[in-house]
Amino acid sequence: MISGWQRRKPDTIEPTGEPKIEIDALVRIAGLFRFRWDPPILAVLAERSFRFRALLTRLESHIGEHVDDNALTRSLRRLTRSGLVRADNKRVGRRNIKVYSVTDTGREHVELYHAFITVYEHRRKPAGAGDRTCCVHGPQRTQAFP
């Protein structure tokens, strides 16, 4: 007999035949999207390395809205502490300037974001719109998300 404190492996199918939602997985997924600016910052840094001001400009042009300097600073510090972003000091003249780039772990997060977007966009298609060319059902199915 399993007590209330012991964990048991959850069933994957509800008695109604519907898939059961894995709460632990939802918590992990929610952690990926916990902070508003982290996913777009990682996506922009996955393109190439940026200095702070250039990153801010690129981020704003991607998103189409203003990003506060303090919000970007907090996000970059958090992402750096988490090991998703690397901040390298680059000497320019007499000044040291930080250049931000995504780490391998950060790239893995970007790939997860891309997978979520792909499935989300696929699920939003009308039922009859499946032309078998999407990455979920089409010939690209054997590849990881493009």
The C-alpha atoms of residue 27 and residue 20 are separated, in whole angstroms, by 15
136/102: higher pLDDT: 102
Distance CA 25, CA 22 (A): 5
**How confident is the model over 93-131, as pLDDT tens digits?**
899 999 999 999 999 999 988 888 888 888 777 766 555
86: three-class secondary structure by DSSP: strand
Asked if residue 135 lies in contact with residue 143, where contact means CB atoms within 8 angstroms, the answer is yes
Give, in order, the Cα–Cα distances in Å from 83 to each of 39, 94, 105, 108, 138: 14, 28, 7, 12, 35
Is this structure's pTM higher than 0.75? no
Burial class of residue 84, CB neighbours in 10 A (0-12, 13-18, 19+): buried
Q: What percent of the chain has pLDDT over 90?
A: 43
**Which stretch of 24-38, 86-100, 105-119, 125-139 has the lowest confidence by average pLDDT?**
125-139
Which of 12-16, 51-55, 111-115 has the weakest average pLDDT? 12-16
Q: Give backbone dihedrals phi and psi of 51, rounded to 5 degrees, phi first.
A: -80, 165
Mean pLDDT, the chain, whole residue set: 79
Q: Domains along the chain?
A: 23-123 (1.10.10.10)
Given this model, what pLDDT does residue 2 score?
44
